[in-house]
Structure 1
Amino acid sequence: MSIREEFEEREKRFMSPCGCLSAASGGRVRPEPLRSVRTVFQLDRDRILYCNAFRRMKYKTQVFLSPLGDQYRTRLTHTLEVSQIARTIARALYLNEDLAEAIALGHDLGHTPFGHSGETALREIFSDSFAHNEQSLRVVDILENNGKGLNLSCEVRDGILKHAKGYGKIVPDNENEKPCTVEGQVVRFADIMAYLNHDLEDAIRSRVIREDEVPAFCSETLGETHPDRATTMMRDIIFSSRTEDGELILSMSEAVHSAMSTLRQFLYENVYRSHKVHKEFIKAKKILSELYQHFTDHSSQLEQELINLEMGHLMHNGQSYERVVCDFIASMTDRYAMNLYARLFFPSPVV
Structure 2
Amino acid sequence: MTIREETEELEIRTLHPRACLSCRSKGRAKGEKEGEIRTCFQRDRDRIIHSKAFRRLKHKTQVFLAPKGDHYRTRLTHVLEVAQIARTIARALRLNEDLTEAVALGHDLGHTPFGHAGEAILRDIHPGGFDHYKQSLRVVDILERAGQGLNLTYEVRNGIVKHSKGRGFIMPEREADKAKTLEGQVVRVSDLIAYVNHDLDDALRADVIREADIPKKVTRVLGSTHARRIDSMVKDFIYTSRSLDLGELNMSSEVSDAAYMLRDFLYERVYESQVIKAEFRKAKKILTDLYEYYLIHPEEVLGDVPSTKKTNRNRMACDFIAGMTDSFALMTYERIFLPQQWTVY
Q: TM-score, normalised by structure 1?
A: 0.95
Task: Give the share of equivalent positions with the same residue, in percent.
Answer: 55
Alignment partner of 1:298 is 2:290 = no
For residues 135-169 of structure 1, the C-alpha deviation after alignment (integer angstroms, 9 at most, x for no partner) is 00000000001110000000000000010111001
CA gap 1:317/1:180 in 2 versus in 1, 3 angstroms: farther
**Whole-angstrom distance in 2 between the partners of 1:162 and 1:173:** 13
**What is the deviation of 1:301?**
2.3
CA gap 1:172/1:317 in 2 versus in 1, 3 angstroms: farther
> Where does 1:60-75 land on structure 2 (aligned, <5 Å)?
60-75=60-75
**Whole-angstrom distance in 2 between the partners of 1:161 and 1:89:** 20
**Whole-angstrom distance in 2 between the partners of 1:109 and 1:163:** 12
Query: Is the 8 Å Cα contact of residues 87 and 97 (structure 1) preserved in structure 2?
Result: yes
For residues 54-93 of structure 1, the C-alpha deviation after alignment (integer angstroms, 9 at most, x for no partner) is 0000000000001000100000000000000000000000
**What is the deviation of 1:247?**
5.4
Query: Is the 8 Å Cα contact of residues 242 and 251 (structure 1) preserved in structure 2?
Result: no
Alignment partner of 1:343 is 2:335 = yes
**Amino acid in structure 2 at the alignment position of 1:215:** P
> Where does 1:98-177 land on structure 2 (aligned, <5 Å)?
98-127=98-127, 129-177=129-177
Q: Counterpart of 2:229?
A: 229
Alignment partner of 1:334 is 2:326 = yes
**Amino acid in structure 1 at the alignment position of 2:116:** H
Query: Is the 8 Å Cα contact of residues 2 and 37 (structure 1) preserved in structure 2?
Result: yes
**What is the deviation of 1:317?**
6.3
CA gap 1:317/1:113 in 2 versus in 1, 3 angstroms: farther
Q: Counterpart of 2:272?
A: 273
**What is the deviation of 1:321?**
1.8
**Amino acid in structure 2 at the alignment position of 1:301:** E
- Number of residue pairs matched by the alignment: 343
**What is the deviation of 1:318?**
3.2
**Whole-angstrom distance in 1 between the partners of 2:95 and 2:147:** 33
Query: Is the 8 Å Cα contact of residues 243 and 249 (structure 1) preserved in structure 2?
Result: no
**What is the deviation of 1:33?**
0.7
Q: Counterpart of 1:23?
A: 23
**What is the deviation of 1:243?**
6.7
> Where does 1:235-254 land on structure 2 (aligned, <5 Å)?
235-242=235-242, 248-254=247-253
CA gap 1:318/1:337 in 2 versus in 1, 3 angstroms: same
Moved more, 169-178 or 196-205: 169-178
For residues 239-283 of structure 1, the C-alpha deviation after alignment (integer angstroms, 9 at most, x for no partner) is 111476x75311211221111111011000000000001110111
Q: Counterpart of 2:59?
A: 59
Query: Is the 8 Å Cα contact of residues 147 and 317 (structure 1) preserved in structure 2?
Result: no
CA gap 1:327/1:269 in 2 versus in 1, 3 angstroms: same
Secondary structure in structure 2 of the residue aligned to 1:315:
coil
**Whole-angstrom distance in 1 between the partners of 2:71 and 2:243:** 40
**Amino acid in structure 2 at the alignment position of 1:155:** E
Secondary structure in structure 1 of the residue aligned to 2:289:
helix
**Amino acid in structure 2 at the alignment position of 1:254:** S
Q: Counterpart of 2:194?
A: 194
Query: Is the 8 Å Cα contact of residues 287 and 341 (structure 1) preserved in structure 2?
Result: yes
**Whole-angstrom distance in 2 between the partners of 1:146 and 1:220:** 51
Alignment partner of 1:319 is 2:311 = yes
**Whole-angstrom distance in 2 between the partners of 1:331 and 1:248:** 38
Secondary structure in structure 2 of the residue aligned to 1:146:
helix
Q: TM-score, normalised by structure 2?
A: 0.97
**Amino acid in structure 2 at the alignment position of 1:55:** R
CA gap 1:317/1:166 in 2 versus in 1, 3 angstroms: farther
CA gap 1:218/1:16 in 2 versus in 1, 3 angstroms: same
**Whole-angstrom distance in 2 between the partners of 1:27 and 1:92:** 26
Q: Counterpart of 2:7?
A: 7
**Whole-angstrom distance in 2 between the partners of 1:317 and 1:84:** 42
**Whole-angstrom distance in 2 between the partners of 1:318 and 1:73:** 38
Question: Which structure 1 residue ranges, 5 or more long, are not aligned?
Answer: none
**What is the deviation of 1:227?**
1.1
**Whole-angstrom distance in 1 between the partners of 2:338 and 2:223:** 48
**Whole-angstrom distance in 1 between the partners of 2:128 and 2:39:** 38
**Whole-angstrom distance in 1 between the partners of 2:269 and 2:248:** 32
**Whole-angstrom distance in 2 between the partners of 1:219 and 1:128:** 41
